[in-house]
Amino acid sequence: MKNIRAYLMTLLVLLTFTLSSCELVGDIFEAGMWTALIIIVIVVLLITWLFRKLRR
């Protein structure tokens, strides 16, 4: 257990020095934006498909 803790602390320090916080937050928001965009497109296509099925 102590070995894992040392590994996690080393990883945390490495990430702290290599990633700036603004870059990290920007990447997270960009990933969220693309995920939301894909979900919105899927929902719109599903609604369109349902309306076409109900009209026939």
| Tens of pLDDT, residue by residue, the chain (56 residues) | 567 777 888 888 777 777 666 777 788 888 889 999 999 999 999 999 999 999 87
Please state the domain extents for the chain: 2-55
Q: DSSP alpha helices (H): ranges in 1-56?
A: 2-18, 21-55
Q: What is the pTM of this model?
A: 0.54
CA distance 37 to 45: 12
